[in-house]
Structure 1
């Protein structure tokens, strides 16, 4: 995956699409202020020229940097997991086995990009854990994607490159006896980007 930072407008469409596609819960303002945001994509903002002194008027150049899992070739998050919940697939995707994860958070500690998030609550519980938290009321729970596991509390989460879409295309290609062409698999963030800043696959 490649993201053209010159095209990125910081609209957060990729963040919203990722949340909806992968059943990532909205944790609320209180949890975000505690550093418990559950987003698989973090949109970082960098300010230049005049942003230091707010009392002085002037043009401000804002740069946006969507930060996702880099799916490192030699991922530092993998060897520290005591239960081997995070591993590399044969096609090079750094993925997570949620049923195996025991929530030690060693992988998050070892991630240089800080893109692994910990699930503090079960957001599918019928009763809220506390006011405005831990509950997805009807009909909002109808939007959950049946192709993606709904994670419980106590596990680590991260970008999966929409692996369910990749596997779906691989299975379909196997049935048809064909091969997947470059650009055939489109991730949710790429599909939603109005600036077409995200490319999944070979950019050449």
Structure 2
């Protein structure tokens, strides 16, 4: 996006907020979000299978052309725990939680942050984004960032405009060598993701906030990597 276009949009945004148009935009977007999506895509990260190899984050960067210095997906490492030789690490996924109740969308003054009514995927339209960083401040998971190339807010969107558009699974899912990631429609009782969720207890991050995230985790029991 050219600097002149971005400056124009920023000026228009400020004017809209000053004229109370912000409230009207939010009401319009809220109305869109009430429609029931055709699919409800979600992801399961099985921490008992994750080995912290970073194949998922590398694939994400390559497929979605994420520049160096920022990341849509990271694997956080904790440990080692225990005593030698029975030591182990814990690996957790740090990415957009694809909330059903979306504080990032609620605060966006231009409609750049939105939830796709057909898939339930929370996305960003970089052409509408003015870089105000309201969504970054509103995200309780602290995963959004400003893309240094596009100057727009960015984050994981399940490869909506790349892999999913081609009828494929997200890059991270396909790249995982241990099959620790499962992706699919949680409204389909016969889907693999539903079967995985029924097979083992899972948890989600910060449920007390009421965001209803769609990234599920099967908790590590220890011993993913022995030293």
TM-score by length of 2: 0.59
Equivalent residue for 1:168? Answer: 166
RCO higher in structure (CA 8 A, sep ≥6): 2
CA offset digits 1:36-91 (Å, max 9, x no partner): xx1100211122636xxxxx977543100012211100111111111111001012
**In structure 2, what is the Cα distance between the partners aligned to 1:59 and 1:116?**
37
Q: In structure 1, how many angstroms separate the alpha carbons of the residues matched to 2:179 and 2:104?
A: 30
Aligned equivalent of 1:12, options 30, 54, 61: 54
Q: What runs of 5+ residues in structure 1 fail to find an aligned partner?
A: 28-37, 51-55, 123-151, 170-184
- Kindly indicate whether residue 105 of structure 2 is the aligned counterpart of residue 78 of structure 1: yes
**Matching residue of 1:47:** 79
How far apart are 1:167 and its partner, in Å? 2.9
- Matching residue of 1:191: 174
The answer to whether the 8 A contact 2:81-2:89 is kept is no
Segments of 4+ moved more than 3 angstroms: 56-60
Report the alpha carbon displacement of residue 166 of structure 1 after superposing the two structures with TM.
2.2
Superposition map of 1:47-196 within 5 A: 47=79, 49=81, 59-90=86-117, 91-119=119-147, 121-122=148-149, 152=150, 154-164=151-161, 165-169=163-167, 185-196=168-179
Of Structure 1 and Structure 2, which has the larger fraction of its residues in helix? 2
Q: For residues 124-158 of structure 1, what are the alpha-carbon distances to aligned partners after superposition, in whole Å with 9 as ceiling and x for unaligned?
A: xxxxxxxxxxxxxxxxxxxxxxxxxxxx2x21100
2:3 maps to what in 1? none
In the comparison of the two structures, how many residue pairs are matched?
A: 143
Contact 2:60 2:66 in 1 (8 A): yes
Scaled by the length of structure 1, the TM-score of the pair is: 0.65
